[in-house]
Amino acid sequence: MVNHVQLTDGAGHLSKGDSSGTSSSSGGESSKESSRSSTPVLDADRTDRLRDKMRRRIDSGDKWFSLEFFPPRTANGAVNLISRFDRMGAGGPLFIDVTWHPAGDPGSDKETSSMMIASTALNYCGLETVLHITCCNQSKERITEHLKKAKRLGLKNLMALRGDPVGEEWEEEEGGFSYATDLVKHIRCEFEDYFDICVAGYPTGHPEAENYEQDLKHLKEKVDAGADFIITQLFFRPETFLKFLKDCRAIGISCPILPGIFPIQGYQSLRQLVKLSKLEVPEEIKGVIEPIKDNDAAIRNYGIDQAVDMCKVLLGSGEVPGLHFYTLNREVATIEVLRKLGMWREDPRRPLPWAVSAHPKRKVEDVRPIFWASRPKSYIYRTQEWDEFPNGRWGNSSSPAFGELNDYYLFYLKSKCPREALLQMWGEELKNEQSVFEVFTNYISAKPNASGNKVACLPWNDDPLAQETNLLKDQLEKVNCRGVLTINSQPNINGKPSTDPVVGWGPAGGYVFQKAYLEFFTSNENVTALLKVLKKYEPRVNYHIVDVKGKNITNAPDMQPNAVTWGIFPGREIVQPTVVDPVSFMYWKDEAFALWIEQWAKLYEEESPSRMIIQYIHDNYYLVNLVDNDFPLESCLWQVIEDMFDLVNSTVEHAI
Amino acid sequence: MVNHVQLTDGAGHLSKGDSSGTSSSSGGESSKESSRSSTPVLDADRTDRLRDKMRRRIDSGDKWFSLEFFPPRTANGAVNLISRFDRMGAGGPLFIDVTWHPAGDPGSDKETSSMMIASTALNYCGLETVLHITCCNQSKERITEHLKKAKRLGLKNLMALRGDPVGEEWEEEEGGFSYATDLVKHIRCEFEDYFDICVAGYPTGHPEAENYEQDLKHLKEKVDAGADFIITQLFFRPETFLKFLKDCRAIGISCPILPGIFPIQGYQSLRQLVKLSKLEVPEEIKGVIEPIKDNDAAIRNYGIDQAVDMCKVLLGSGEVPGLHFYTLNREVATIEVLRKLGMWREDPRRPLPWAVSAHPKRKVEDVRPIFWASRPKSYIYRTQEWDEFPNGRWGNSSSPAFGELNDYYLFYLKSKCPREALLQMWGEELKNEQSVFEVFTNYISAKPNASGNKVACLPWNDDPLAQETNLLKDQLEKVNCRGVLTINSQPNINGKPSTDPVVGWGPAGGYVFQKAYLEFFTSNENVTALLKVLKKYEPRVNYHIVDVKGKNITNAPDMQPNAVTWGIFPGREIVQPTVVDPVSFMYWKDEAFALWIEQWAKLYEEESPSRMIIQYIHDNYYLVNLVDNDFPLESCLWQVIEDMFDLVNSTVEHAI
């Protein structure tokens, strides 16, 4: 889906370049603060700036990889790229970078702009992100505007490039820059040490450079102007890079130099790339791929093997601290190479039960309301204006002014499924409330519905059931088919190791705990019975029950959050990353109710019976959350629901 | 020990009075804040002001008691009174009050002043405290000075009295006040609503009043001037109070009116009191006590029964929300009366594992370093200047600037034992380090030492072993006799009910947890072995090892506190009231080392062998703390010590 042709104008410094020059050492200073630790899980990995992370990993010999992407051409492409960020982020890249796409209005708010894609990777996918920026054909002022915007969005790293002149003739923009060196100087001049700056290196010399030596001198100039590290243009032989590295060191370039790895993924893309970058493909490679040029799979397999072999030599040299991959926005080849190198993180350790944002302001954040567990991007969006994030506890500090969520069209909030697919999953035509119960039940059971389609998502859950929720699958299935429409739940956990593959999070050697939680929509009739039943479970069970108008029934204190997930770790304070917070619940309920209409009802014609059924549920059902405080015992929440059904049935029988 | 004769000038409004007057309703307004809860265990009971606490308990029908004390005459008396506050505070009084003692420099910083005793009760014993203040013979300015000081010390409640003129002649102080009403008005005028104000009521009329009706009018005036509640002079018959109460209500006094209960404790004290207060002892009482006037025990038992009978009638009337006891600074009779009434809290529920201070500024405090567990008053003293107290976690906020502790002479920090008793416990003469080991061992075992004395305290522990520490008694005994001189420890706890009588704390329905902790002094030789042994226990065990000069060996992060006590409660965030904090440990170690010299070495002559032994330990031993992070498993700390001893022994054997 990611348009391959974009390679021509989207691959930024991969296929194009800047020309610049010479001399001394980089600015890789550590910015360690000696103040008291401000949050129990705030590892250096979360607080350090990129160059410090590199420094630490170089010191400890812990090799890293990074991934380069280009901005997509369509909104749909953006939605898909964001999902790819989530999937590839799981493998543990040290950073990703997004190329600057001059033809694509790169600094704008369009969902396909370089700026927006980089911001989304950082803010919504939690990835350390490097934004490319080019200086040719742009005024100084325009560049400063872009940089200010990047800073405002939380971006802290730049790849400073010259970029390509438009057309054949090279013409300096009036009041602009001719060289990446000038851009680096400008960034340092205007923003001092705020940004970490990367520059490009050319192992075989920049195509426009006078000669290799001259090009090395340009590179040294860029570093001396304030660049922190170097990523190289692609190359086909490890010795090309190693010689370049040696030459860089010889003239006094001491910052990290990362080889750009390009796994060959197809005959056409290679040809195009080579043409643009004016590189020579070595005979030994040509000799292999020419005969198989029509066999995509064979070429890709060859590309993987070739990249793996080259990376092994590079890593084996002891001179290469990390590998930079030109992904061409594709997953398979790069992941395969990384897997074969043993660098792909197969067992992602979560620092917290939810995905942490990489925005500098949010780095201390370590507690969130549980309600947005399946909609973390919406939570980030609605809290992006907060000046401070709850750190350690959900207390006074977080007087929650949630932003409105009317922007269901935003690409990072949008469902990955098109309308047609949604209708196939949720029903072309709904007959009654029971039809809706079945959709929920099919989602839980992961069995195909009547029309043979699996229900892979719901308006409240854009992904299939989480592994953890799977622990509750049988019970969830039973209650959903009877009209307890669950949208969020977690089992109780009484001290499992923090390394547990399903429920674990945080550093090793700790223990994680949870209170059982269940959140669902259900009818007025059920709620009436439930309220009677809940009296028996006081004070063990806390509940909040609310309808779309905000009528709120609860036995919990008004302002008191209830911690429902916490962890105990060696040498640390307690971490309690999720809470049931009565105040935020009222913001969440607006969103939860609105999703019925925005994501589901609107699939159908106005006035259609299907739409009216969803509208009826929206108008009449209650949103309920239940917490079983007695986490060491077996959860009583299923019994609560069972008792509720019993009471409803006995009332019905009495009525008869 | 508390000097009884002081009754004549110390019992304040008990035996003396003020004369004042008439009219309408009290200022019992609630000051509930509607902001978000700022701390997980901050119950209304901790945040409300006294009048709101009364209001809530009246509404819920939860009857209370309060206790009146007078300031002692000697420093030794002050030390004892403070211990009595701790013991009587355990029974759950709603407040205590301290009389104003004009002859005792009551507003000064002397340890026997009314001001200091009240401040200590509030700040160091965590008791809601009412300070008496009288206005006669004092200038307005002087009174304002006293009130400002009281406010500065955190006192929020006053008992406003006229006091007695000096000598026979009544002479108004120039620029002073003649009546308690004026004092109440002055307090409201100068301090607005800051203080809760109590005034005195006279069930049989003030001795100087024209008549009973006139006296009631004066009382109404005091209430109208801004008093919040009334405590009455003592009386001997319940109907006296109930009639008075009815009459007060009839003229429109609507604030709480608390009967002053005086359990007769001795023939002489009763006679003296009656003379001063110009009260009549009813014939039925005289008839009983005259024949037994030389039998103190019999009179006390009678006094208890008489008080119990009277209180039952009062409480039974449904008109009496609380009882106020004139304790005469004695424990037995009052506690006995309260026990018989079922009002003495036999099973004190601790809101936190340590005693919470009642200072308004400290109300949010809910986490402390574990080091001062046995010296909470020292901790309060050393942190009294803090502007904020850690609330929820021990983080950035608490950059700990601890005050110096050179003031070992301060009465609230002083040992209850005189030098002679200490020498009997800790040895008239020490022969060697082993003699010191024996003192520690005897303290733990609670067995008499060689000279037949029990070691009831140590410089680091002013009380016998806590119940909780008793769980570790056998192991502690074993290691102390071998020179691991323990001064603080707690067992690991993996989720016991918060109502557990030994380790429980916080509201019911919760679970409490602990990591095993051990803190001790030991020799350089042992530490050398310990450090080798600890390598085997990484990262399970965190340690800090420090000598008197501050040489610090640790495997814990510099700035990271380790939570070692925490609790999980229904509907709340996690509470973590004790931490091992590396920064505060360095302040604690100064105090811990200094106690060797200040409290122990200085008992002996300079240059004496005993003193030199303690000095040697002070100069050469290390202070060690160990945390076993793996709280669900059996503590490994005893094995660590065992391994250390094994290693020391094998080294010795090798040397041989």
Do B396 and A583 count as a contact with CB atoms less than 8 A apart? Answer: no
At A67 the pLDDT is 98
- Which chain B residue has its CA at the smallest distance from A583's CA? B36
- Average pLDDT on B322-349 reads 92
Q: List chain B residues with CB under 8 Å of A569.
A: 629
From residue A579, alpha-carbon distances to A357, A383, A562, B395 in Å are 18, 16, 5, 20
From residue A101, alpha-carbon distances to A84, A128, B135, B141 in Å are 19, 20, 83, 77
- Which chain B residue has its CA at the smallest distance from A566's CA? B574
Q: Please check whether residue B171 is in contact with residue B165, taking contact to mean a CB–CB distance below 8 angstroms.
A: yes
Q: Does B543 touch chain A (CB under 8 A)?
A: no
Confidence check: pLDDT of A207 > 60: yes
- Which chain B residue has its CA at the smallest distance from A563's CA? B573
Do A583 and B39 count as a contact with CB atoms less than 8 A apart? Answer: no
Q: Is B222 exposed, middle or buried (0-12, 13-18, 19+ CB in 10 A)?
A: buried
Q: How far apart are CA A611 and CA A435, in angstroms?
A: 12
Q: How far apart are CA A372 and CA A460, in angstroms?
A: 9
Do B539 and A570 count as a contact with CB atoms less than 8 A apart? Answer: yes
Confidence check: pLDDT of B11 > 50: no
> What is the 3 state secondary structure string of B156-195?
CEEEEECCCCCCCCCCCCCCECCCHHHHHHHHHHHHCCCC
Q: List chain B residues with CB under 8 Å of A570.
A: 539-540, 542, 562, 629
Q: Which of A87-91, A133-137, A256-260 has the highest average model confidence (pLDDT)? A: A256-260
- Average pLDDT on A51-71 reads 96
A79-88, B382-391, B401-410, B526-535: segment of lowest average pLDDT: B401-410
The model's confidence at residue A45, banded by pLDDT at 50, 70 and 90, is: low
> How far off is chain A from B555, nearest CA to CA, in Å?
9
* pLDDT above 90: percentage of residues in chain B: 67
Confidence check: pLDDT of B630 > 60: yes
Q: Does A56 touch chain B (CB under 8 A)?
A: no
Pick from A36, A629, A631: CB nearest B559: A36
Q: Return the residue in A36, A368, A572 with the most chain B beta carbons within 10 A, the one to mutate for interface testing.
A: A36
At A619 the pLDDT is 97
Confidence check: pLDDT of B5 > 60: no
The model's confidence at residue B21, banded by pLDDT at 50, 70 and 90, is: very low
**Candidate list B29, B68, B605, B634, residue with the active-site label:** B68
- Average pLDDT on A454-478 reads 89
Q: How far apart are CA B311 and CA A353, in angstroms?
A: 57
Q: List chain B residues with CB under 8 Å of A627.
A: 571
At B339 the pLDDT is 96
Closest to A262 (Cα-Cα) out of A327, A323, A309: A327
Angle between helices A75-89 and A114-123 (to 10 degrees): 40
Tokens at residue A294, please? 């029509």
- Which chain B residue has its CA at the smallest distance from A629's CA? B570
Q: List chain B residues with CB under 8 Å of A556.
A: 571
Q: Is B565 exposed, middle or buried (0-12, 13-18, 19+ CB in 10 A)?
A: buried
Q: Quick one: chain B helix, strand, coil %, rounded to 5?
A: 40, 15, 45
Interface of B with A in 279-298 (CB under 8 A): none
* pLDDT above 70: percentage of residues in chain B: 90
Residue found under tokens 């300031």: B71
Task: Compute how many other C-beta atoms are within 10 angstroms of the C-beta atom of residue B268.
Answer: 14
Q: How far apart are CA B627 and CA B622, in angstroms?
A: 16
- Average pLDDT on A590-604 reads 95
Q: Does A252 touch chain B (CB under 8 A)?
A: no
Q: Please check whether residue A126 is in contact with residue A355, taking contact to mean a CB–CB distance below 8 angstroms.
A: yes
- Average pLDDT on B430-437 reads 96
Computed from CA positions of residues B124, B129, B130, B132, in that sequence, does the dihedral angle turn out positive or negative? Answer: negative
Residue A388 DSSP SS3:
coil
> How far off is chain A from B563, nearest CA to CA, in Å?
5
Q: What are phi and psi of A38, to 5 degrees?
A: -100, -10
The model's confidence at residue A5, banded by pLDDT at 50, 70 and 90, is: very low
Q: Please check whether residue A555 is in contact with residue A534, taking contact to mean a CB–CB distance below 8 angstroms.
A: yes
Q: Is B93 exposed, middle or buried (0-12, 13-18, 19+ CB in 10 A)?
A: buried
Task: Give me the helices (H) in B228-386, please.
Answer: 238-250, 267-277, 283-289, 296-316, 332-341, 376-382
A·B CB contacts under 8 A: 137
Q: What are phi and psi of A553, to 5 degrees?
A: -120, 125
- Which chain A residue has its CA at the smallest distance from B556's CA? A571
Q: How far apart are CA A448 and CA B313, in angstroms?
A: 75
What lies within 8 Å, CB to CB, of A452 at 6+ separation is: none
Q: Does B38 touch chain A (CB under 8 A)?
A: yes
Judging by DSSP bridges, how do beta strands A322-326 and A622-628 pair with one another?
Answer: unpaired
What is the pTM (predicted TM-score) of this model?
Answer: 0.85
- Which chain A residue has its CA at the smallest distance from B495's CA? A632
Computed from CA positions of residues B46, B50, B56, B57, in that sequence, does the dihedral angle turn out positive or negative? Answer: positive
Closest to A443 (Cα-Cα) out of A433, A454, A453, A435: A454
At A237 the pLDDT is 94
At B466 the pLDDT is 81
> How far off is chain A from B399, nearest CA to CA, in Å?
7
Q: What is the mean pLDDT of chain B?
A: 87
> Which residues on neighbouring strands pair with residue B516, listed in sequence order?
B628
> What is the identity of the amino acid at B483?
G
Closest to B450 (Cα-Cα) out of B424, B468, B415: B424
Residues B356-379: tens digit of each pLDDT? 888 888 888 989 999 999 999 999
Q: Does A625 touch chain B (CB under 8 A)?
A: no
Residue B370 DSSP SS3:
helix
Beta strands in A106-173 (DSSP E): 129-134, 157-161
Q: List chain A residues with CB under 8 Å of B393.
A: 40, 392-393, 573-574
Q: Does B496 touch chain A (CB under 8 A)?
A: no
Do B37 and A395 count as a contact with CB atoms less than 8 A apart? Answer: yes
Q: List chain A residues with CB under 8 Å of B509.
A: 539-540, 629-630
Q: Return the residue in B534, B568, B578, B631 with the most chain A beta carbons within 10 A, the one to mutate for interface testing.
A: B568
At A363 the pLDDT is 83
Confidence check: pLDDT of B15 > 50: no
- Which contiguous run of DSSP H or E holds residue A553? strand A552-554
Task: Give me the helices (H) in B49-91, please.
Answer: 50-60, 75-89
Do A540 and B579 count as a contact with CB atoms less than 8 A apart? Answer: no
At B576 the pLDDT is 94
Q: List chain B residues with CB under 8 Å of A583.
A: 36
Tokens at residue B10, please? 């110390």
Do A513 and B568 count as a contact with CB atoms less than 8 A apart? Answer: yes
Q: Does B586 touch chain A (CB under 8 A)?
A: no
- Average pLDDT on A437-457 reads 93
Closest to B135 (Cα-Cα) out of B97, B187, B95, B98: B187
Q: List chain A residues with CB under 8 Å of B583.
A: 36
- Which contiguous run of DSSP H or E holds residue A340? helix A332-340
Do B571 and A631 count as a contact with CB atoms less than 8 A apart? Answer: no
Q: What is the mean pLDDT of chain A?
A: 87
Confidence check: pLDDT of A7 > 50: no
Do B509 and A570 count as a contact with CB atoms less than 8 A apart? Answer: no
Q: What are phi and psi of A200, to 5 degrees?
A: -95, 140
Q: Between B8 and A495, where is the model more confident? A: A495
Q: Does A137 touch chain B (CB under 8 A)?
A: no
The model's confidence at residue A379, banded by pLDDT at 50, 70 and 90, is: very high
Residues A329-378: tens digit of each pLDDT? 999 999 999 999 999 988 777 889 888 888 888 888 989 999 999 999 99
What lies within 8 Å, CB to CB, of B404 at 6+ separation is: B382
Do A540 and B573 count as a contact with CB atoms less than 8 A apart? Answer: no
- Confirm whether A607 is a catalytic residue: no
DSSP B435-465: HHHHHHHHHHHT-B-TTS-B---BTTBSSSP
Q: Quick one: chain A helix, strand, coil %, rounded to 5?
A: 40, 15, 45
At B175 the pLDDT is 63
- Which chain A residue has its CA at the smallest distance from B542's CA? A571
**Candidate list A68, A128, A365, A591, residue with the active-site label:** A68
> How far off is chain B from A104, nearest CA to CA, in Å?
45
Q: How far apart are CA B72 and CA A303, in angstroms?
A: 91
Angle between helices A238-250 and A212-224 (to 10 degrees): 60
The model's confidence at residue B247, banded by pLDDT at 50, 70 and 90, is: very high
Tokens at residue A487, please? 């949208």
Closest to A445 (Cα-Cα) out of A421, A469, A420, A419: A469
Pick from A35, A395, A631: CB nearest B568: A631
Do B570 and A562 count as a contact with CB atoms less than 8 A apart? Answer: yes
Tokens at residue B86, please? 């701790």
Interface of A with B in 557-576 (CB under 8 A): 557, 559-563, 566, 568-574, 576
At B209 the pLDDT is 76
N-to-C CA span, chain A = 58
Tokens at residue A430, please? 């709904």
Confidence check: pLDDT of A17 > 60: no
